[in-house]
Amino acid sequence: MITLLLLANAYALDCPEGVPPAALDASLDEAEEALLDLDEEAFRDDVNTFAGLLLPCAAEVTSLAQAARIHRTMAARRFAVGDEHGALSAARAARHLDPEADFGPLLPNDHDLSLAWNGAEPVRTRRVPESRSGSTSFDGVNGRERPVGVPTVFQVLDNAGLPTSTVYLGPNEPLPAYPAIPRRRNALLVCTGAGAVLGGVAYGLAWAERSAMLEAGADPDTAGSKLLGQRRAANALTVSSGFAFGAAAGCGAGALLVGER
């Protein structure tokens, strides 16, 4: 059963119907009651059922409070199987979401997890790739900021904001596959925009230089060397704008190609 807890999240489940938040809370209630009753076997089975069968079929986005409660329960379970590092990591995740909560009455005040609660370090985040459609959520927070160094409840949401996938990820577990926009596509889009802007600026300066040259050429007193310099400047700016527009077109084409992968 411990194997189920550790590996269940690696596999997608066929969910005949979504599990509502109330059912998830009821499952957590059972696990907490088993922990309070010191029924280790029931606590193990309840947590494994929740993590392996119910949470992956969540019908709605997890709330912050529910995510914090999940992490607290997981912390207690990790500690029970001797994974102290994993337990402390889950406790950090819970405190990050709900600093006002604690482990009482689940654990005594002198328990290692209870003592570690107030000393938990802040949790930083890092941005993950953007979803092609819909969005992503971490611990009930819609967005692309994944907590670093702690477990998280990760959800992929459709355009209506409903989860199509829910998984409890360990601190070092990779994100499950989802239709994400590759990071290199964003870089190519930046290149496209920058090339277009630079090309436009260069072309505008070339046109202004050409206009100044024509105006100066209408004056018979204008030195030929000045006109030659203006023509060279206009030509150089025109060539530069062409290179910039070419780079923008190339990057734009690359972005389109990458976007289809």
DSSP conformation letters of the chain? -HHHHHHGGGS----SSPBPHHHHHHHHHHHHHHHHTT-HHHHHHHHHHIIIIIGGGBSSPPPHHHHHHHHHHHHHHHHHTT-HHHHHHHHHHHHHH-TT---TTTS-TTSHHHHHHTTPPP--EEE-PPBSSSEEEETTEESSEEESSS-EEEEEE-TTS-EEEEEEE-TTPPPPP--BPPHHHHHHHHHHHHHHHHHHHHHHHHHHHHHHHHHHHTSTTS-HHHHHHHHHHHHHHHHHHHHHHHHHHHHHHHHHHHHT-
Confidence of residue 184 (pLDDT cuts 50, 70, 90): low
pLDDT at 110 over 80: no
pLDDT at 45 over 60: yes
pLDDT at 18 over 50: yes
pLDDT at 2 over 50: no
Mean pLDDT score, 69-89? 89
pLDDT, mean over the chain? 81
pLDDT at 69 over 80: yes
pLDDT at 217 over 50: yes
pLDDT at 174 over 70: yes
User: pLDDT of 148-164, one tens digit each?
Assistant: 999 999 999 999 999 99
Return the domain boundaries, the chain: 2-169, 183-259
pLDDT of res. 23: 95
pLDDT of res. 150: 92
Global pTM?
A: 0.66
pLDDT at 185 over 60: no
Query: Who has greater pLDDT, 200 or 261?
Result: 200
pLDDT of res. 54: 94
pLDDT at 258 over 80: no
Confidence of residue 260 (pLDDT cuts 50, 70, 90): very low
